[in-house]
Every structure is written in structure tokens, then in C-alpha cells.
Amino acid sequence: MNLPEENASPPPPADHRNELTGLPGLRSWKHVYLFVFACFVLWVLLLLALTVSYS
């Protein structure tokens, strides 16, 4: 079976606002991802502290 690809709906116009996060203190997406990663590390450390404190 060798099917042709259908015509796609036209892509939306480029929106430069998408590059902005709109978050105070976290201007680029790189900063947002670092913040999320830091939160993950913080949760793991808190859970580790709970484990160590009550084991």
C-alpha cells in the first residue's frame, strides 16, 4: 500500500509571543525548564529527608 499524504491545513502564522513565557522572573523557556527541574530536585530532597528522619 503506497498512500499519498493528504493536503495539510495551513500552519498557523508564527507567533513571537510564544517565545515569551509571561512569567515574572522566568523570561525564557530555558529558565522555566530549570525552575521545573529545581522543583523536582527539591521534592526528591524533601522526600529523602522524610525517609531518613523516620527510618
Site residues (vs other proteins, CB under 8 A): 1-6, 8-12, 15, 17-18, 20-23, 29, 32-33, 36-37, 39-40, 43-44, 47-48, 50-51, 53-55
Least gap, CB of 25 to other proteins (angstroms): 14
Bridge partners of 26? 23
Least gap, CB of 14 to other proteins (angstroms): 9
Q: Return phi, psi of residue 34, to 5°.
A: -65, -40
Find, among 39, 13, 35, the residue nearest to 23 by Cα.
35
Least gap, CB of 16 to other proteins (angstroms): 11
Residues 42 and 25: their CA atoms lie apart, in Å, by 19
